[in-house]
Amino acid sequence: MDILILGALRDRESGYDMNKELVGKRSQNTDADRRRQPTRVEAEAAVRTLIEWAGDDPDREGLLGTPERVVRAYEEFFAGYHEDPVALLTTTFQETADYDEMIVMRDIRLESHCEHHIVPILGKVHIGYLPSDRVVGISKLARVVEVFAKRLQIQETLTAQIADTIQKVLQPQGVGVVIEAAHQCMTTRGVRKPGVSMVTSRMLGSFRDDPTTRREFLSIIGNPRSGIASA
């Protein structure tokens, strides 16, 4: 499998400021809240228009229920806009405060959609963190991935959102997130290069600053010599 390595999503010299990004996102959300959300009838009418534009008849038997089905599917695909990933991580456990080794979840199934073409991004996510004084239920990490994935995305942003949210809420000694995914906007259209995956990473705290911690994480997820750089 050809692998395009995209490391160093952000580095110290980039001037990246998570607080500014969060303020910007709050502003965008406020603008979105002010916009009138189309009704279901309007959404289904838009699907009918696309079917006609593609050259088919939305009133033929096989397509009669398609606008409704597409709208229902979009409700599932983009449910993440209505969920708060921070709230998912607020319930933690301090009974394991004496545990000071790395916690890793690997091969979390990723299903998202490219914001440029609204076609699937399919792959897997690996998450590791080094707890300070509390840990979170393992299912919550997978749910955080799902919330951000169920939005229109680019992989670089998705990687940073997952890592930054875990770091902000849990405040561990460090966080590492690696995503490997195939983009159907590239494999089924455009340059049409099947078998190509894109790898992105975001390393924070000890995962960025301590090469030993970073190597341990990459070794656990089965990718020790991938060439992924710290972000």
Q: Which residues are catalytic?
A: 114-117, 155, 183, 185
Map residue 133 onto helix, strand or coil: coil
Tally helices (H) and strands (E) across the chain. 9, 8
Helical ranges in 105-210 per DSSP H: 138-149, 155-170, 184-187, 206-209
- Residue from 66, 6, 25, 3 nearest 231 by CA: 6
Gap between the Cα atoms of 207 and 218, Å rounded: 10
Contact of 106 with 180, CB cutoff 8 Å:
no
Evaluate the CA torsion angle 123, 153, 76, 82 in order and state its sign. Answer: positive
For the chain, how long is the longest CA-to-CA vector? Answer: 65
